[in-house]
Amino acid sequence: MSVDARAAPVLTMSPERVTMRERIVAGVPWAGWIVLAILLAIPALGGGRYLVYLGTLIALQAALATSLNIVMGYAGQFAMSHSAFYGIGAYASAILVTSVGLPFWGAVPIAMACAGVLAAVIGYPALRYTGGVHLALITFAFGELARLVAANWDMLTGGPMGMRVMYTPGSLFGLELGSAKGLYALAAGMLLVCLLVTEVIQRSRFGRGLVAVREDETLAAFLGVNVVGYKVAAYVISSMLAAMVGCAYAPIMNFISPDLLSAHETISLIGVLILGGIGTIAGPIIGTLLFFGIPEMLRVARLYRLVVLGVVIVLVALFMPKGIAGVLRDRVERWKRGLR
C-alpha cells in the first residue's frame, strides 16, 4: 500500500539484521495460516455440539465476509447487495433441490451462475460510471427489491414466513456431510474456497489491477487497466462466492426467510470487515471472530453483549481506522524496517 515515509533509517541498519527480520516477517502469513488451521481443527476434533454449531456459524460468516472483501477491500467498490446474493444463493439452491429434484452439488453451480448473471446485469450499468455513493445506493435498492420479491413470491419462496429446508448435502469425495460435523466441514470448506480465491486474486495481475483501481481510477486507466471490466469482474466474483456460501446456509439452518436478504446483514458485514481490517486476507476472519466472539465471551444478557460490541466498534473505528489486521500489518512492516 502506501510507502512509509520514515523508511530512511533502513540504510543505517547492518545488512544481516535486516535479512533476519525479513525472514521472520516472511513467515508471518504462514503463522497466520497455521493459527487458522488450529482454529478450524478445534471444533472438528474435540468439542461438544455447541462448539461445533458455533464453529459452523462463524466459518459461514467468515466465508461471507471474505467474499465481500474482494469487491470492497481490493476493488474499493461499495457494494450493498452482498446479503441479497447470499439469500439468492440460499433460495435458488433450496428451490432447485426441493422442487426440481437436483442433487445439492448440482444445484450449487447453477445457483452461482444465476447470481453471476444477475450481478453482471446490475453491476455493469452501475459501475460504468465512477461507482461511489451511486453504486452503494443502486446495489442497496437492488438488494431490497430482491428481498421484497422473496417476501411476496409466495408460490416459490413461501412468502414472508420463509421456507423450511429438509435436505442434507450429499457426500463429496467420499466425505459424509449430513451430520453436525459434516455441516461444519461444509462451512469450513466454503471459507477455505473463499480464502483461496482471495489469495489467488491478490497474487495475480488482476488483483494488482484492482488495487490500482481502488487507489486511483484515473491513473489505473492510464496504466492500461480496464477499469470498468475489472470492477464488474470483482463484483461478479464476489457475488458468486456469496451465492455459494448461501447454498451452504440452507441445509445448515434448515430454514430460510426473506430477512436473510436484508441490507442490515450487509451493513453488519461491512462492520466486520472494517473491524478486522479491510483489504487484508486475515481481516474478515479476525473481524468475524471478534463480532461473534465478544458476545459469546460475555455471559450477560444478550442485549448488553451487543451494546459492548457496539462500543468496541466505535473505539476501533476512532483509534484504528485501518482495522486490526491493518494495524498489525503496519506494525510488522515497520519492525522489518528496524523502526519501533
Partner 1 sequence: MDLIQTLLDGLMVGGLYATVAIGVTLVFGIMGILNFAHGQMVMLGAYTAFFVVSAGLGFWPALLIGMVAMGALGLVLERVVFRHTLGDHMQGLTASLGVIMVVENLAAAAFTHDPRTFEPPLPGSFQIVGLTLSSQRMLVLVLVVVLVVACHLFLQKTRIGKAIRAMGQNRTGAALVGIQTTQVTAVVFVLGSAMAGAAGVLYGSLFAITPYMAAAPLMKGFILTVLGGLGSVPGAVLAGFLLGVAESLGSRYLSASFRDGYGFMLLIIALLYFRRGLFGHRGKVRV
* Residue 130 CB, nearest approach to partner 1 (Å): 6
Indicate whether 100 belongs to the interface with partner 1 (CB under 8 A): no
* Residue 261 CB, nearest approach to partner 1 (Å): 13
* Residue 72 CB, nearest approach to partner 1 (Å): 9
Indicate whether 297 belongs to the interface with partner 1 (CB under 8 A): no
Q: DSSP letter at 256?
A: E
* Residue 211 CB, nearest approach to partner 1 (Å): 16
37-96 residues in contact with partner 1 (CB under 8 A) are 78
Q: What are the phi and psi torsion angles at 272 (to 5°)?
A: -60, -45
Indicate whether 155 belongs to the interface with partner 1 (CB under 8 A): no
314-333 residues in contact with partner 1 (CB under 8 A) are 314-318, 321
Beta bridge partners of 31: none
Q: Which of 123, 271, 277, 283 binds partner 1 (CB under 8 A)?
A: 271
- Return the residue matching grid coordinates 429438509: 166
Site string for partner 1, 108-147 (x = CB under 8 A): -----------------xx--xxxxxxxxxx-xxx-xx--
Beta bridge partners of 256: 163
Contacts of 125 (CB under 8 A, 6+ apart): none
Give the ranges where the chain is alpha helix by DSSP (H).
15-45, 49-69, 82-95, 104-128, 132-152, 154-157, 180-203, 205-215, 217-222, 227-253, 263-276, 283-297, 302-319, 323-336
CA distance 261 to 243: 11
Cell (9 digits) for 229? 471490466
Query: How many residues of this chain interact with partner 1, rule: CB under 8 A?
Result: 46
Indicate whether 13 belongs to the interface with partner 1 (CB under 8 A): no
Indicate whether 313 belongs to the interface with partner 1 (CB under 8 A): yes
Q: Which of 27, 170, 229, 310 binds partner 1 (CB under 8 A)?
A: 310
* Residue 56 CB, nearest approach to partner 1 (Å): 24
- Taking residue 2's Cβ as centre, other Cβ atoms within 10 Å add up to 6
Our CB check for partner 1 shows the closer of 84 and 177 to be 84
* Residue 326 CB, nearest approach to partner 1 (Å): 12
Which of these segments, 104-112, 177-185, 262-270, 326-334, binds partner 1 (CB under 8 A)? 262-270
Q: Which of 172, 221, 267, 327 binds partner 1 (CB under 8 A)?
A: 267
Of 50, 46, 87, nearest in space to 250 by CA: 87
Give the ranges where 46-81 is alpha helix by DSSP (H).
49-69
Cell (9 digits) for 5? 515515509
Indicate whether 268 belongs to the interface with partner 1 (CB under 8 A): yes
Q: Supply the DSSP string of 207-254, one letter for each residue.
A: HHHHHHHHH-HHHHHHTT--HHHHHHHHHHHHHHHHHHHHHHHHHHHS
* Residue 280 CB, nearest approach to partner 1 (Å): 14
Our CB check for partner 1 shows the closer of 200 and 306 to be 306
| DSSP-based three-state secondary structure for 263 | helix
Our CB check for partner 1 shows the closer of 31 and 307 to be 307
Binding site for partner 1 (CB under 8 A): 78, 125-126, 129-138, 140-142, 144-145, 148, 151-152, 263-264, 267-268, 270-271, 274-275, 278, 301, 303-304, 306-307, 309-318, 321
